[in-house]
Each structure stands twice: as C-alpha cells, then as structure tokens.
Structure 1
Amino acid sequence: MTDEFPERPSAAGQTPEEFADEFRAWLDENLTGDFADLRGTGGPGSEHQFFARRKEWERHMAAAGWTCVGWPVEYGGRGASLAQQVRFHEEYAKANAPARVSHLGETLLGPTLIAHGTEEQKRQFLPKIVAVEELWAQGYSEPNAGSDLANVATTARRDGDDYVITGQKVWTSLAHLSQWAFVIARTEEGSKRHKGLSFLLVPLDQDGVEIRPIQQLTGTSEFNEVFFDGARTSVDMRVGAEGEGWKVAMTLLEFERGVSTLGQQVGFARELERLTQLAKDTGQARYPAIRERITDAWIGLKVIRAHALRTLADRDSSGGNASAAKLLWANWHRDLGELAMAIQGAPSLLGPTETSEGDANDLHDPEHLELAEWQRIFLFTRSDTIYGGSNEIQRNIISERVLGLPREARPQ
C-alpha cells in the first residue's frame, strides 16, 4: 500500500492554457483502447456503471500525476492555481471522461485534512487518496439531521483510546463501495446544536457497522443508510479538537462547492446541446413555448457560470455565495429534466425496450432494464434541489446570514 507522498511536477510556471493543453493531450492519448467505452459513464443515476473499471481508469490517471492536482506539491498534488484547476475540470468534462469514483476523498476530505489534520493523519490517508487506493464516504446526514446538520444525534463515547459510535446516517453516497467514512458525531453528552460535535475518521469494514443501499427512482443505489452499533475508531482518528467538529465540517462544505463545479457546468452544457438537437429532430423546436424554454435554459447556464467565476475566490463566511450557487444550478438542472419530458411528449412515458448489456462490476442484475437517458436525468434531478442542502435551507441561509432577516423558529 502507498504510504509516501508521490513526487509530481509542479504546475507553477505554466499558464492555465498550457496546463490545459498538457492535460487535453494526455486525455486524447489515454482515454482510448480499453478505456474508450468509459466515456460518458457513471453520471447521475448511472453511478453503478462500470464502477471497478472507472476506478482502474482513475488509478491510471493517478500514475500519470493527474489526481489531486490542486493539492500542494508536498502532499502529492501539483499545486495547480485556481485558474489551472478550472481548466483541468473543464477539459475533463469536455472529453466526456467517466465520472470520478474518488471525488469525496480528493475534493472534500483531502483538502480538509491538509487544513486541519495532524501530520500523522496526512501521511496515513493522503497518499492513498492520491493513488485511489482508498475510497471515502460522507457521514453527515441523519434521519432528523439532513439539511439541518446541527441536529446530529449520532454519539461517540470515549472508551480509553477509542470512540464507541452509536447512531444512524442516511443518504451516504457510495458507502457500500468505500473503506472509510468521515463522520460528524456528538462527543459531549447533553450538548446541542453546533456544540459538542467532533469530526471522526471511521473504518467501515468492522463489526458494528451495517450498510444498507437505498434504491432510488432511477433503480440504482448510490445512497445508503449506515448504522453504527458500537463501532470503534481510535482517538487519533479525530480531526481537530474534541467538540470542535462543526468548524472542521464547515471547512469541508466550502470545498464541496468549489472549483469542480465548473466541470459540472460543462456537462450541463452538453446536456442542453443534446436536448436542443432533440427538439429540432422531433419538430418541437418549431413551437415558440419550447424555443423560449430552451433560450431560458441557455441564459440560465450563462448566469450559473458567471456567478461561479465571480465567487470562487470569495470564501465568504456567511455561506451566501455557496447557497446562491446551489440554488442556481439545482433548479436549473431540475428544470432541464422537465423540459426534456416536454420535448419528448408522450414517448417520454414509455419504458425501455432493451436490456442492459451488463458488466461484471455492475451493482445490479445484468437483466436490469435501463432507463432512457432523458428519463434517468428527469428522475435523478428531482433530488438535485434536496441533497447537499435543500432549497429551503439555502434560502434560509441567504435570508438570515446575508440579508439579516429574522431567524426562522426552530425547535428548542
């Protein structure tokens, strides 16, 4: 197993375009052969597609120095600037490269450990994230603590050099495929809201951890319930001081809505382009109402990009920028799914006529009927306005923390 930080060339001295040109040339040369059929796989609602092969692809990227490019060089990254990272994610999306499998480790936990972790924690975990040897899940949401994360009830009781964890997490992305989870738990008995929480790194392959996949509308199971019943993790696996987990958790959430969203928008633009062509092919584009909705979608995508570029370097403590960004893209994508159904009309209600070719690494039966692309997007985007903080919570953050309006009444 990897236990040393790999030596990688620094991106310093390259312009964003030079960095992008280098990465584009590498993608052109490598996203071929055995990896060619992975293009476009693993997107929303299709997370089960070729998972093991997508992990193999990502390890191929790692061997060539193309994972964790924004991390400091001393921790195995390439020290890419914000502008270089933007171009990296855009080129990856333009190439229609497969969805990443190590997103939570690379873009969330890794930068959080660099900011708050001990040197021992960095040396134990960061090299394995860079090499895509260990995958991570996020243990934040609970049945009564979803968007209102401060309502966490999972407890971690100190027992010598260990914490003993009891509670339930839900909507835990890819927990069934991960080796570790970063978990917010209440380590101070009787504490409430933001106080008394700690940020723990918990191994998932142990007694006392039960993972139950949740079947979604799309028929796939990206999300999971995770039950902790006496699960253990070492005190050394706490990031930050005991009782100060909220601070660490908020640092991680800032990274969640970072530069990778620019690549997401390239994917959105590709979806809009295909949908516009579909409207032309089916004759729906001749109707003014459809043309108007396509135009609104095009304008909305420009607004999303402009907001992202304007605010990426502005890490406002209120969370207003991040909340506005989430509202913009989540509602836009949901509306795109609805527009796709309108353009297809009645045929959008028809079920698939072909069975999946299957894959040895698929999480479902090879005879599972796959949804058509636009059906899948329509169904999955119903969740866009819920996960990562619902629309209602984002509006509360903006109204209370940015506009200074009275706080919404909350249970005592």
Structure 2
Amino acid sequence: MPFPEYQRTESFAERMDKLDPLRRYREFFFIPERNGRPVIYLCGNSLGLQPRQVAEYIGVELDAWASLGVDGHFGGAHPWVYYRKRSKEALSVLVGADEDEVVAMNQLSTNLHLLLVSFYRPSSKKYRILTESGAFPSDQYILESQVKYHGFDPADAIIEMEPAAGRHTLKTEEILEAIDRHASELALVMMAGVQYYTGQRFDMEKIAQRAAYYRIPVGFDLAHAVGNVPLALHDWGVDFAAWCSYKYLNSGPGNVSGIFVHQKHGKAFDLPRFAGWWGHDESERFLMKKGFKPMGGADGWLLANDNVLGLAAHQASLDLFMEAGLENLTLKSEQLTGYLAFLLNQLNERNKPVIEVITPGNPRERGAQLSLFVHKGGKALFDRITNEGIVCDWRNPNVIRVAPVPFYNSFKDIYKFAHVLENALRAFD
C-alpha cells in the first residue's frame, strides 16, 4: 500500500481501509464498547487492546497447572522452567538484537533499577547523568534515588536537557552538544527512546555513538518505543534498555517488562549486579550451591522464576507481531499518523489555529503518537470528545495524546476522530 495523497473525506478513509493488507488484524482484538457502540480507541500508548487469543494462550498453561501440577515446570507443551525463552525471538526482532541480548522479566521500573546497578558506576569526578527534561515521573524518581544512593545531590548530579525557548522538543544536535560539553563528568546517558509527553522519537543511534566516543554508558527507557518504532539496539551500540509490554505490545495491564543488554557486556561476569536464583547458570541451578555464577547475556540479570501466566498473555501478542511483520506495521503506522496530521492541519486551516501539534512533523522523529496542545477548551474539550466515544489521553496542562495503532485502528477511525474533534471545538467559540 503506497503512501497516499490524503483527502478529507469519509470515502477516502473507507477506500484506504479496503486497500489495507493488515485490515484483518483489527478483528483479532477486542474493541471496547460504550452505550452499545464500539469506541474509537486511540490510546494504545497507554494500554494496548487485548488480543482475542490471550485467553487461549493462558488457558494452555492453566490446563497444564491443573493436569500436571508441579510437573508443569518440566512437562507440558511449554515447560515453565524455560518459558521466558519462548519470547526471545520476537523480542529480538522488535528491538533489533540477538536473542541472547534480550529477556522478558519483572516490571519496567524494577528492571531500570537493576540495570543501573550495573551501568551507573559513578566516581567523585564522573558522577552526573544526562537525561531529557520532563521525563516520565518513574524515570525521574529512579534517577533521583540512584544518585542519592551513591551519595550525590540530584539537583547537581542529574542534567536535564530542555528545548530552546519557543520549542517543545529537543534537536539531536542539542543532545550531542550536551554530551560533548559534559563528557568529562558524565557517568551515564539515560533517556527515553520516544518521549511520553511530546511523542518525540530521539535519534538513539547518534546518541549512542556520541556517548560511546567518550566511553559513557548509554541506556534507554523504551516504554513508548518498543512495538511502535523500528529499533536496532545491537547495531547502534546501546549498552542497555528496558521496556514495558502493556502499551504498544498489547500484553495486558502491568504485565511483564523486558531488558536488552548488549553482547559486549553479556559475558562481563565481574560487572556489578544484584543476583537471584534464576540468573544463575541454569546448567547448575538445581545444585543449590553457594556462589552466584551468572548466565551469559541478558539472562544473567534475571532474579526470580518466570511469571508464566503473564508471559503467556505476552506471547499471544508477540506472535501477532511476528505474523504481521514489523515492516508492514511500521508502514501502516506512518500512514495512519500522517493522515491524522493531515486532518489536523486541515482543521486548523478552516478555523483559527487552535490545535498545535507539538510532536515533530518528520515521520522519522515520531512514532504513532501525536500530542495535541489545545488552545481552546482545555480539559472540557477532552471530556466532550470522550463523551462522543473517543478514547485517547489527557496530560496537564493542555495536551491530548492520540495514538493510532496499526494493528487495530483504521483510517476511518482517524477520520471520525477529526470530525468529532472539530464539532466539539465549536462549543467553545
């Protein structure tokens, strides 16, 4: 499906949906209803919808538990003791890594703390962390607590890069210049892959290369990037990353996180880390001896045994990614988001400009999300479109986040959203 010349008509949206080779995947997900009608769900950046096959995948493990009991650890279709390995192929594709560099485990904040134990190793002169301003609160709290743990003052140790006056996003050159300027004192560069508020996609490759030039470890929180934008963490030389699975990965509320650790660190067994039974060499795990011997690769950061039911739900979505193909999903995502940007521009041309898209206009600098700074109506506008069956996301002070997901959103969804939004704005004239 080539990139189209967009049109502001319902018939155009319907025609695009008929041409969409991924249109059948919409039926693979439960679409919530309100007042007996399906909502227009544009909130996959907060919580992805449930794949219909989740119940089947979990059911297999519930049946194994019922029929095998403890023997399910080594028996059944998917022995639980190795269950995490089932997700490695898809995760490696999604983040651009080798299978030994990724593992599904824990939750995102827990994993970031575990990784910082290894990769934030401050000294009296090199102790500062470079990050973006306005990072997601959990990342702010993680960095604050880590620097405090090492005896430093967050106000001094954490350098937050802010956009220049009059702009909402950072330029790549500004980030690289900040690395250059603070290189002698930086112990870590850690930031989002896609910024949760603005929707800006950072140039992770250039950031990782510049940090590597100064031998500064670099890591990314990929909560809003994984399953959303193409990633090549191994080739980019990223040291570590972590993500959640409940947004674009559609794996269920609060479900399992995942980590990436580059191969260059995978057998650095003297690298400081917190240890747990499941990270111990699995060939010796059941000898139950003292002395932690980490597994090679990302698995060496495991602590506890697998959450099998959560991983089953996770796998139900990952298998859809493998079937649909990441390149196909990326192409449709760019088309859907491009259509949304087109319709918003048309809306502003017919009215006083009241919707300011603060997400970059270049498709290479964003993913599925557009963040709309509304200059009229505020939260009341958001409430009005919500009452009309739109599900998106409000962030103070005046931003509506809209995220078309290629698995289950259609071009007609985008057209209807823009139509509802324009009608709602008239109430505030």
Q: Give the TM-score normalised by the residue count of structure 2.
A: 0.23
Q: Which has the higher contact order (CA 8 A, sep 6+)?
A: 2
